[in-house]
Amino acid sequence: MQTLENLLNHKTIRNYKPDPIDEKTLNTILEAGFRASTTGNMQVYSVIVTKDEAKRKELCKLHFNQKMVEQAPILLTFCADFNRFNKWCRQRKAEPGYDNFLSFFTAAIDALLVAQNAAVAAEDFGLGICYLGTTTYQADKLIDFFNLPKGVVPVTTLVVGYPAENPAQVDRLPAKGVVHYEKYADYTPQDIDEIYAEKESLPETKKLLEENQLETLAQIFTQNRYKKADNLHFSKVLLKVLEQQGFMNND
């Protein structure tokens, strides 16, 4: 059960050695990605590989200056992509009807399953990975950067490289806080206290609260990390991107 062990031992890596990843390894990681389930076997996604050092430095700026973005040898940007499929349809006397929100979301699901397969495959090679949530925040800028045509939207990015650190595994909520049986059992105030008790009692949490001079861990999220004003701003960016890339013709 090496696979299960790999999955259960996952750690996000944020410091990388500059060592390159050989072509065969990269190709195998991508092949493993493309074996993920895909809606109707349409494969409505694309992956953009960034190796070039100058381009990694530019991408680093776009991804909010997270140093690992220029440090690691490879970035994989996963895109929802109906462009290729639409072109194929038009070249084959078929009129595509994929310029709508459902089609975008279908393609995004496809792209994300590929990304997670690639992440698991990379770790099997002893590589480390980190997902960049900044991909959706900066979708408009990444579209310019990569020259993405209509029908293509970046949905996530994987940093991939050999780890230069071996961090402790981070906490997760107890499974009973995340799993429901048969029906969704909504949370009572007592449930919430129990589910978050361990996380709140961690030494890291206490340190964070002192550093940020805040009373609760939840405030670190709402006031520092994922603020309402930022979320609203990036919601508008992302919805505008969907429109510009031709995925909001819903009538």
Nearest approach, Cβ of residue 123 and its own copies (Å)? 8
Identify which range of 14-22, 23-31, 65-73, 160-168 contacts its own copies by CB under 8 A.
23-31
Nearest approach, Cβ of residue 129 and its own copies (Å)? 8
Is position 16 an interface residue for its own copies (rule: CB under 8 A)? no
Identify which range of 64-72, 132-140, 160-168, 205-213 contacts its own copies by CB under 8 A.
132-140
Question: Residue 212: exposed, middle, or buried by beta-carbon count in 10 A (0-12, 13-18, 19+)?
Answer: middle
DSSP state of 77: E
CB-nearer residue toward its own copies: 18 or 97: 97
Is position 217 an interface residue for its own copies (rule: CB under 8 A)? yes
Token pair 């070039």 in the structure block, residue: 52
Site for its own copies in 149-208 (CB under 8 A): 149, 152, 155-156, 170-173, 175, 177-184, 186-187, 189, 192-193, 195-196
* Rg value, the chain, Cα: 20
CA gap 209, 198 in Å, rounded: 15
Site for its own copies in 74-113 (CB under 8 A): 79, 83-85, 87-89, 91-98, 100-103, 105-106, 108-109, 112-113
Site for its own copies in 37-66 (CB under 8 A): 37, 39-43, 45-52, 55
Nearest approach, Cβ of residue 142 and its own copies (Å)? 10
CA gap 104, 81 in Å, rounded: 8
Nearest approach, Cβ of residue 125 and its own copies (Å)? 8
DSSP per-residue letters across 135-168 = HHHTHHHHHHHHTPPTTEEEEEEEEEE-BS--PP
Which tokens belong to 36? 């993920």
Nearest approach, Cβ of residue 251 and its own copies (Å)? 7
CA gap 220, 213 in Å, rounded: 9
The strand pair at 152-161 and 128-132 is best described as antiparallel
